[in-house]
Amino acid sequence: MPAASTAWHEGSREMDVREGITIPDEELTWTFARSGGPGGQNVNKVASKAQLRWKAVGSSALPEPVMARLLAQQRNRLTLDGELLITSQIHRDQDRNRQACVDKLAEMVEAALRPPTPRRRTKPTRASKERRLESKKRRSEVKEGRRSVD
């Protein structure tokens, strides 16, 4: 999702992810640290790395099935407290890293809004069945060749 479509500003009370979906500001927590990204000696002086924590578990910002998909898709980013952790340190300044975190969150929510396409059951082709049986036969012959002859 482009950065321009995600509305979030310093003084706002909520983050508009998409029309009809907003995340209240009380559920978002920002922390900042020294970055390991670009910036030369600047990284030793300025806390430009942005870290966004969203109390996703228990949030009413998203419908229940969408929230379940989001938590399943982003389970590696979840803390034990049920917070979704998003970091950015690709830019030299804090504001751009903060906006990058917001954009990442918006992309995650957008991905969770799309329901997964159902799997269509298919039959194995005749050639794949024959290949499978042939490999089983070959494997059987290899094992049979290992047996000791009495």
In order along its 150 residues, the chain shows pLDDT tens digits of: 344 344 444 555 677 777 778 888 888 889 888 877 666 676 677 788 899 998 888 888 888 898 899 999 999 998 888 889 999 988 888 899 999 998 999 899 989 988 889 999 999 999 999 999 999 999 999 999 999 887
pLDDT for residue 37: 60
For residue 126, the model assigns a pLDDT of 97
Has this prediction a pTM greater than 0.75?
Answer: no
pLDDT of residue 4: 39
Which residues have a Cβ under 8 Å from the Cβ of 18 and sit 6 or more positions away? 106, 109, 110, 113
- Could you give the CA distance from residue 80 to residue 63 in angstroms, rounded to a whole number? 22
3-state SS, residue 59: coil
Domain ranges in the chain?
Answer: 3-113
Nearest to 23 by CA among 97, 91, 95, 112: 112
Out of 3.40.50.720, 3.40.50.10420, 3.30.160.20, 3.30.1330.20, which CATH number does the structure's domain 3-113 have? Answer: 3.30.160.20
pLDDT, position 22? 84
